[in-house]
Structure 1
Amino acid sequence: MATIDLTGTDFEQTVNDNEIVLVDFWAEWCGPCKQFAPTYSAVSEKHEDIVFAKVDTEDQQQLAAAASIRSIPTIMAFKDGHLVFNEAGALPPQALESLIEQLKELDVEKALRESGQSE
């Protein structure tokens, strides 16, 4: 699946309507963002079952602010509507693949119960 562009209008629905969503917060002027983009795109092609999204922090400043983006690129991962990963910096391909495998194996409800955050 190719990456999709998210805006403030469709961000919440995308996160809530899909099991796993990875979001790359980036900007056109950001060198590390440009270096990471081909890795993100290539990995997205291997995982049809995951939504790979991008948020242009220049175009979507309110969304970036709401997500407390301080540095780019920042990768966020959501599973079952819950933020489960949030890290600034470009991930090498192996680290991105490892993150995906961990996301697939993660039992969100169990993790929430163990952390005392269960709904």
Structure 2
Amino acid sequence: MKFISREFIRSIAPQLDLLNTIGGGVAQPKLRMNERPKGVVLHVAMPSVPAESFHVMLKDSKLTVYGEFRHAPESQLAAPLFVQTLDLPQNLDLAAINASHENGELRVVIPFKDPAESPAREIDIQPGS
């Protein structure tokens, strides 16, 4: 005898995760980073979180990805779902970061810098006093 159907469990699971998060728990996104020939791709998967709840911030060489819950889009009160901050290496072109959201996954693409743009240079050595 089945008391709870699979459809009910599938429909209630995202709400339970959200309630757990608001109650002090932590939502655990699946985060992975893949290096490609032209750059790096960061994947953040949270199927129950809509695209408008994700945010990507860049300050200096730190990339912060976070999600938040708002009861209504215009609400000033927000509950954090997750926060992940990454220190980015200097060989990435931070001015060309691109982010998209599809099928419950945030995708952040960061291309490598063109090595010709920052050629090596010799530094003059000043005599000591």
Instruction: Please tell me whether Structure 1 or Structure 2 has the larger radius of gyration of its CA atoms.
Output: 2
TM-score, with structure 2 as normaliser: 0.21
Q: Which has the higher contact order (CA 8 A, sep 6+)?
A: 1
Structure (1/2) with the larger strand percentage: 2
Higher normalized helix content (fraction of residues): 1
